[in-house]
Amino acid sequence: MHQELENIEEKFRELTRSLSDPALVTDPQKIRKISKQRAELEPVVKKYEEYKKVLKDIKDSGEILSDSSAEPDLKELAEVELKELEEKKEILREELQILLVPKDPNDEKDVIMEIRAGAGGDEASLFAQDLFRMYSRYAENKGWKTDVMNTSISPIGGFKEIIFNIRGDKVYSMLKFESGVHRVQRVPQTEASGRIHTSTVTVAVLPEADEVDIQIDSKDLKIEAFGASGPGGQSVNRNYTAIRITHQPSGMVVSCQDEKSQHRNKDKAMKILRSRLLNKAQQEQDAQIAQDRKLQVGTGERSEKIRTYNFPQSRMTDHRLNLSLHKLESVLDGALGEIIQALIVHYQAQNMGDQLESS
């Protein structure tokens, strides 16, 4: 974050100098453009200057405390001041992170998450279940609501696929960088020799689309009812409560069977379909932005990974940040705040740097 903020501060100075250029007097359009760019950077620069002053004051207080010739009263005052400055530093750091949060029109939206077992067979399906629990616990800690929309259970009890809705305050802004391939390294319960296996799970995070976002013509839909199967569906198997919707122009197929009501399954299937179509439309509008936002989860091969969960070393590594946390158990129990905040800062700083280079 420090280097990106330094770059932003330097760009702010360049823009300020540019506004003093006499040659700009005859170019009002360029003046407006530069003024707008400068105004966008100014809140970040002012907050960063305040942050740097606090860092300097912390250093000065530390020097007083380490000075053997300093008066006891002065040291006591410096110790009190240092504690206050450390607290202020953390507050300013959080404020800077908030200022760097992307201004994405979807950030306010709820999300639909799709978790699917990739390479690794049964072990991958068990880890898909672990990831669902991780995100559910994180949502619970944030005060968000989770609603399972569709599941496909593996023979040993994990998830071949699970689709669920998370509703709350600015959910997409916090979870959008979770899209990608998640790799797990651990000894499966069925492995008698104790050999470590590597498996993968894909995660897709879609902003939930409202009806106003995506208009779907009913004539384009093929809606079929069929008998639900598996846990939760056995008792309604004869009633054909499960729903399969095919969007014929795009070829997208969505199925829902977890509810015992055909109407509720249809509502959930339509919600998933709208969100997938919105995601597809956004990708078509700007493929480069879609790539930067990591909306593609790849094929699930082991090499296409954004994160690795290593059980023998109790380590979670995010490969985009080159950041490792040696507290895997708490991460899988929903303690994702640290890594999510780091990802938000990383991508916003990166995006802001790209904008500055292109301006």
pLDDT given for residue 148 in this prediction: 92
User: At 262, is the pLDDT very low, low, confident or very high (cuts 50, 70, 90)?
Assistant: confident
Q: How far is it, in rounded angstroms, from Cα 26 to Cα 20? A: 13
Alpha-carbon span 164 to 203, nearest angstrom: 11
Indicate whether 147 pLDDT > 90: yes
Q: What architecture (CATH level 2) is domain 2-99?
A: Up-down Bundle (1.20)
pLDDT reading at 296 higher than 50:
no
Query: Between 3.30.70.1660, 3.90.1150.10, 3.40.50.300, 3.30.420.130, what CATH number should domain 111-208+298-358 receive?
Result: 3.30.70.1660
CA distances from 322 to 24, 298, 307, 318 (A): 44, 20, 9, 6
> Torsions phi, psi of 270, nearest 5?
-65, -35
Q: Considering the chain, what percentage of its residues have pLDDT values greater than 70? A: 86
More confident residue, 25 or 180: 180
Q: So what's the pLDDT on residue 264?
A: 86
pLDDT over threshold 60, residue 233? no
Query: What's the CATH fold of domain 218-284?
Result: Double Stranded RNA Binding Domain (3.30.160)
Share of the chain above pLDDT 90, in %: 42
Q: Tell me, rounded to whole angstroms, the distance of Cα 63 from its chain centroid.
A: 40
pLDDT at 29: 84
Mean pLDDT, residues 15-29: 87
In this predicted structure, the answer to whether residue 166 has a pLDDT above a threshold of 90 is: yes
